[in-house]
Amino acid sequence: MERNRDDFVIAIRSAFLKKGTQQRFSLLALIFFSITFLILGSINYKPINNLKKILKETVYLSSFIVSVPENLLGKTYVNIYNHFSHYEEYKKIRKELEILKLIDLNNQILNLENIKYKKLIDDYFVKDNETFAKVLIDKQSPFLRSIIINKGMKNNIKKGMIILDEGYLVGKVIEVNYLTSRVLLISDINSKIPVSIQPGDIQAIMSGKDKQKGVLQYIKGTDLKKDNQEFIVVTSGAGEVFKNGIPIGVIKMEENDINADDKIVNFYRDFSQLKYVKVVSYSQELESLDSLSKKDSNQQQGKIKETNQINETLRILKEQKKIDIEVRAKIEEENFILKNTIFKLKNELRISEQIINQNKTLSTDLKYLKLDLLYGAKCKKNFFNKLYKVDSKKYKACVLNKGLIK
C-alpha cells in the first residue's frame, strides 16, 4: 500500500516538476503562470490588460494570415456552387425583383410617413458614425460566437456600436483595440437583445442559440396569433442599446411548438458568410429637429385648433342628430296615429256616402211612389190610350213629371 502511494507521488512529481528532454520550463511553473494570468485577468489588472491588447493585435493579424488558404478554399467552393446555380437563381431573382419593385414603392411611402411621425415623438435617430470594416477572423467557437473586424480605436470605433450586414443586425462591438475590434454576434448565448415581434408588437428578449438561430425569452404566456405562419423580429429599441426597427429574423410557426415557451428565431443573415460589415452608431436628430420643430409646432398647433374645432362641430352635429332622431321618432309616431285616424275617417266617410246614396235612392223611390199614387193614372197605358207600361222608364219619367210631358 505504502509502495503504491510512493509510486504515485514519484510519477506525479516526475510529470509536473521534472523538465523533460528539450523542455525549458517545468509544467508546474507554467501552470502557476496560467493561474496567475487568470486571477489577474479576472480583477482587471492593468499590465495584464496591456499584455492582452498586445497579444490581441498580434494574434488577430497573424490569425488572418494563417486563415487565408482555408478562406480561399471556402470561397472557391462558394464560387463554383454559385456558378452552377446561377441560371436558376437568375429566374427566381427576376420574379422576386418584379414583386419587390412594387413593394419598394409602398415601403418608400411608409418610410417617409414613419420618419415624419417619429420626428413628432422625438424618436427619430440618424447615423452619426458609419464605417465599413472587413471581417478578419470568424471564429465561431461554442463558447463565444464573435468576429474580429479590422477597425479599432484609430477609426473612432467605440464599445457598443452596432454591426450591420446589408441593413440586418449582426451584433455589437464589445471590445476595442487600436487597430481591431471584437464583435459579439447575436447568435451568441450571452447576447441579450430587446426585440419586438410583428405583427402584434410583442416585446421580448432574444439570445443566441445556434449558428443561425436565436431564442426568445420572457414571452411565457404571450399569445402569438395562431393564424399567422410567420412573425418578423426587429429590435425594439428598449433600453437604448439598439435603435428600434433593425430587422433580425423571422419566427416560423411550423418550426415552433405552439405551446413552447421559447420561440426560435431564424436570422436573416448567414453569419458564417460575413466578409464586410457596417459599423454604425445612432444619435437623436437634435439640431435639425429643433429648427424643424418650431415650424412644425406652429403647423401642428394650427392643425390641433382645426381639429378641435372640427371635433366641436362634430359634437354639436352629433347632438343635433340625436335631437333630430328623437323628433323624427315623435313625428313618425304622430304620423302613424294620424294615418290610423285618416284611415278610420275614410272608412266612416265611405259608410256615410253609402248611407247617403241609399237614402237618396229611397227618397227617389218614395217620391215616385207618392206621385205614382197621384199621377199614375195619367201615364198608365190602358185599352183607350197608348201611354206607358207601368214601371217602365218612360212611365217613371211621366209620373215624376206629374203627367205627360208637354
Partner 1 sequence: MNRIKKNNIAHSLYSLTPVILLFVSVLNEIDFNYSGLKYFSFNFAYILIFYYNLKKSEGLGFGLVFIAGLLNDVVIGMPIGLSSLIYLLLCGAASYLRNITLRPNLMKDCIFFLMTILTLNSLSFLILTFIFSYELNYLDQVINIIFTFIFYLIFSYFFNLLEEFIRERS
**Residue numbers of the site for partner 1 (CB under 8 A)?**
7, 10-12, 14-16, 20-27, 30-31, 33-38, 41-42, 48, 51-52, 55-56, 59-60, 62-63, 66-67, 70-71, 74, 137-144, 146, 175, 182, 189-190, 210-211, 272
Helix axes 46-66, 27-42, angle to 10 degrees: 110
Q: Which is nearer to partner 1, 212 or 244 (CB)?
A: 212
137: exposed, middle or buried (C-beta count within 10 Å: 0-12, 13-18, 19+)?
Answer: buried
Q: What is the closest distance, in whole angstroms, from the C-beta atom of residue 238 to partner 1 in the complex?
A: 21
Measured distance CA(148)–CA(191) in Å, rounded: 16
Least distance between partner 1 and beta carbon 11 (Å): 4
Q: Which of residues 182 and 243 has its CB atom nearest to partner 1 in the complex?
A: 182
Residue 389: which of 403, 379, 399 has the closest Cα? 379
Q: Which is nearer to partner 1, 70 or 254 (CB)?
A: 70
Nearest distance from residue 77's CB to partner 1, in Å? 12
Residue 114: beta bridge partners? none
Give the closest residue to 273 by CA, choosing from 81, 85, 91, 61.
81
User: HSE on the CB side for 305, CA within 13 Å?
Assistant: 5
Q: Which of residues 42 and 106 has its CB atom nearest to partner 1 in the complex?
A: 42
Exposed / middle / buried, residue 45 (Cβ in 10 Å: 0-12, 13-18, 19+): middle
Nearer to partner 1, 54 or 126 (CB): 54
Closest CA to 247 of 328, 344, 319, 165: 165
Residue partners of 118: CB distance under 8 A and separation at least 6? 124
| Cα gap 110→176, rounded to integer Å | 37
For residue 165, CA distances in Å to 126, 131, 391 come to 18, 12, 120
Residue among 67 and 131 whose Cβ is closer to partner 1: 67
Smallest gap from Cβ 10 to partner 1, in A, equals 8
Sign for the pseudo-dihedral over CA of 368, 373, 378, 379: positive
Helix (H, G, I), strand (E, B) or coil at 162: strand
Cα angle, residue 108 at apex, residues 104 and 110 outer, rounded to 5°:
115
Nearest distance, CB of residue 72 and partner 1, angstroms? 11
- To partner 1, the closest distance from the beta carbon of 198 in angstroms equals 27
Cβ closest to partner 1, residue 60 vs residue 282 = 60
Nearer to partner 1, 56 or 243 (CB): 56
Q: Which is nearer to partner 1, 11 or 362 (CB)?
A: 11
Residues 6+ apart with CB under 8 A from 210: 187
Nearer to partner 1, 56 or 263 (CB): 56
SS3 string, 203-236, reads EEEEEECCCCEEEEECCCCCCCCCCCCEEEEEEC
Name the β-bridge partners of 172: 162, 184
Kindly tell me which of 36 and 85 has the beta carbon lying closer to partner 1. Answer: 36
All three cell numbers of 257, joined, read: 411548438
Provide φ and ψ at 147, rounded to 5°.
Answer: -130, 160
Give the C-alpha separation, 364 to 389, whole Å: 19
